Amino acid sequence: MQLISCDYHNHAQAILAIFNEAIINSTALYDYHPRSMATMAEWFASKHAANQPVIGLCDEANTLAGFASYGSFRPRPAYKYCVEHSLYVHQDFRGQGLGKQLLDAIINKAIEQDYHTMIGGIDMENTVSIALHEKFGFVHTGTIKQAGFKFGRWLDVGFYQLMLPTPLAPIDG
């Protein structure tokens, strides 16, 4: 598997398929309806405008096996050193350790870009994702009970946080 920087023209369709499979079949995304290509164009444009990475893993046939990204945790200026990340692996590639590679890559990118805190919002039934994050040092910082409702049941979302050694000289304003 090779780490790559994803772009709209080469990877939007594959990322859309991964997102939509997760929406339809899991509680990894608290969406009800599949996303469209128009949504992907907006998503990639916002990532590009904010200099936020979309890191992918491709196999030997150049098939996108998974991706990770991050965005602003909250829009207020004082949150500028905090990002919320997401990570998804295509259903055909799960259980092969790709999540570890993607999480490692996105953490390193956040350090490179001088962020201080990474947040992951994880459905509390997603024990695989929770275990992965804990292996990387993420700490459970709280759970919002019944934050979502999907598949006829209430869903709890847990927040997991990783403190990064950057920036070396944070500034106000």
- Is residue 170 assigned to a domain? no
Contact 147, 159 (CB under 8 A): no
- Is residue 169 assigned to a domain? no
pLDDT grade for 35, boundaries at 50, 70 and 90: very high
Span 135-151, pLDDT tens digits? 999 999 999 999 999 99
- Is residue 101 assigned to a domain? yes
Contact 10, 40 (CB under 8 A): no
What are the respective helix, strand and coil percentages of the chain, to the nearest 5? 35, 30, 30
pLDDT grade for 154, boundaries at 50, 70 and 90: very high
**Total of domains in the chain:** 1
- Is residue 109 assigned to a domain? yes
- Is residue 171 assigned to a domain? no
- Is residue 139 assigned to a domain? yes
Domain span at 155: 2-163
Residue 6 reports pLDDT greater than 90: no
CATH number at residue 59: 3.40.630.30
Span 99-126, pLDDT tens digits? 999 999 999 999 999 999 999 999 999 9
- Is residue 173 assigned to a domain? no
**Burial grade of 55 (CB within 10 A; 0-12, 13-18, 19 or more):** buried
Global pTM exceeds 0.85: yes
- Is residue 95 assigned to a domain? yes
Backbone angles phi, psi at 91, to 5 degrees: -55, -30
